[in-house]
Amino acid sequence: MLLANQLGAFAAALQSSGAQTVLLAWLSAIAFTLQIYFDFSGYSDMAIGLGRVLGFRFLENFNYPLIARSATEFWRRWHISLGSWFRDYVYIPLGA
Q: Which residues contact 70 (CB under 8 A, 6 or more apart)?
A: none
pTM above 0.75, yes or no: no
**For 21-75, how does the pLDDT look when each residue is reduced to its tens digit (9 = 90+)?**
888 888 888 998 889 888 888 888 898 899 999 999 887 777 888 888 999 888 8
pLDDT, residue 96, reads: 65
- Burial class of 35 by CB neighbour count within 10 A (0 to 12, 13 to 18, 19+): buried
Residue-level length of the chain: 96
Task: Please give the average per-residue pLDDT across 73-89, as a whole number.
Answer: 84
pLDDT, residue 53, reads: 96
DSSP states along 1-51: -HHHHHHHHHHHHHHHSS---HHHHHHHHHHHHHHHHHHHHHHHHHHHHHH
